[in-house]
Amino acid sequence: MTTTAQIPLTISEPEKRSRPRGGLSRTLVSYSFLAPWLIGFLGLTLGPTLASLYLSFTNFDLLQDPQFIGTANYERIVTNDVKFWHSMQVTFAYVVMAVPLKLAFALGLAMVLNRGIAGLPLYRALFYLPSLLGASVAIAVLWRQLFAKDGLVNVALALFGIDGPSWISDPNYSLYTLVLLSIWQFGSPMIIFLAGLRQIPPDVYEAASIDGATKVQQFVKITLPLLTPVIFFNGIVQTIDAFKAFTPAFIISEGTGGPIDSTLFYTLYLYQEGFAYFRMGYASALAWILLIIIACFTAFSFLTSRYWVHYND
């Protein structure tokens, strides 16, 4: 999109000048780097993607041939589908809560781990442990035990005199347990932040501390700006992931999205439509609407990124 156009001129100029070869061969060399992806995209990804776009304009029950019905699926979604609006609401609430909290947690711990204290590899491994477990059946069972009325969480809260509800099975709170699950699995963005922090040359800090900058000033003036490409990346990727979140709700509610559809994520609804109720055409239309929403969000992020993301190039 627009990111590539923002390379500062002063830096891209010398590159142009020093290029020894002509335009065509340069293009060929560039495409030779791109070739594996391009082959995969044209050969494996594009076809199924276009097929799903076509299916979104059909009545497709998986077992019989699809029948073209024009925009009927889309019309129904917008005008006559309460579950669409409801699941959209659940998903937005999830995105808004889970993404910033998870990123803040991941960045904070990455900074703590980026210091010279003993036992760091061990801590890193431990912090990554929840993410290693993924969204397995075991996690589902554990989560239901932890957040039940008489679960460990309420036992802990009782120490402070709080009488907690049955978090996981009360429709007022069940979504929060999934937000917590997402935050708890902060390992991946943490690792990416850590890799980003390691890329900041230490001499930058040395220079700053000679100048008498405090830790806070260093963080605001050096760490954050130099980390913006990684923050940008984590923000986009985590948001896309949260919009598409499926597995946590699927395993914890056993595919129902319950209680009372309080954890009916958008993709879970889409999955039910497609695979449980045999309406794959309708599910495809739902998926393409989600794609448009995510694409708008991503485009917006890229457009604003030129004002706050600092690349070295």
* Residue among 222, 199, 185 nearest 109 (CA): 185
Minimum Å distance from CB 98 to another protein? Answer: 17
Q: Does 303 bind another protein (CB under 8 A)?
A: no
Q: Which of 107, 175, 178, 242 binds another protein (CB under 8 A)?
A: 107
What is the Rg, in whole angstroms, of the alpha carbon atoms belonging to the chain?
A: 24
Minimum Å distance from CB 36 to another protein? Answer: 4
Minimum Å distance from CB 161 to another protein? Answer: 20
Contact positions with another protein (CB under 8 A) in 266-295: 267, 270-272, 274-278, 280, 283-284, 287-288, 290-291, 294-295
Contact positions with another protein (CB under 8 A) in 206-265: 209, 214-216, 218-219, 226, 229-230, 232-233, 236-237, 240, 244, 246, 253-256, 258-261
Residue reference for tokens 């497609």: 274
Q: Which two tokens stand for residue 217?
A: 């000033």
Q: Which of 72, 111, 157, 222 binds another protein (CB under 8 A)?
A: 111
Q: Does 117 bind another protein (CB under 8 A)?
A: yes
Contact positions with another protein (CB under 8 A) in 5-64: 5, 11, 14-15, 18-20, 26-27, 29-31, 33-41, 43-45, 47-49, 51-52, 55-56, 61-64
* Residue among 235, 233, 204, 202 nearest 221 (CA): 204
d(CA 110, CA 152): 28
Contact positions with another protein (CB under 8 A) in 65-104: 104
Q: Which of 78, 96, 132, 207 binds another protein (CB under 8 A)?
A: 132
SS3 300: helix
Minimum Å distance from CB 233 to another protein? Answer: 4
d(CA 51, CA 141): 37
| Binding span for another protein by CB under 8 A among 67-75, 88-96, 136-144 | 136-144
* Number of Cβ atoms within 10 Å of the Cβ of 73: 25
Contact positions with another protein (CB under 8 A) in 153-192: 165-166, 168-171, 184, 188, 191-192
Q: How many residues bind another protein (CB under 8 A)?
A: 141
Do residues 111 and 197 make contact, with C-beta atoms less than 8 angstroms apart? Answer: yes
Do residues 197 and 110 make contact, with C-beta atoms less than 8 angstroms apart? Answer: yes
- Taking CA atoms, 47 is separated from 39, 268, 274, 313, in Å, by 12, 24, 19, 35
DSSP class of residue 80 equals S
Q: Which of 59, 157, 205, 225 binds another protein (CB under 8 A)?
A: 205
Give the list of residues 6+ apart from residue 273 with CB closer than 8 angstroms, or none. Answer: 279, 280, 282, 283, 286
Q: Which of 9, 121, 159, 307 binds another protein (CB under 8 A)?
A: 121
Q: Which of 79, 119, 159, 211 binds another protein (CB under 8 A)?
A: 119
Give the list of residues 6+ apart from residue 186 with CB closer than 8 angstroms, or none. Answer: 102, 105, 106, 109, 127, 130, 131
Minimum Å distance from CB 44 to another protein? Answer: 6
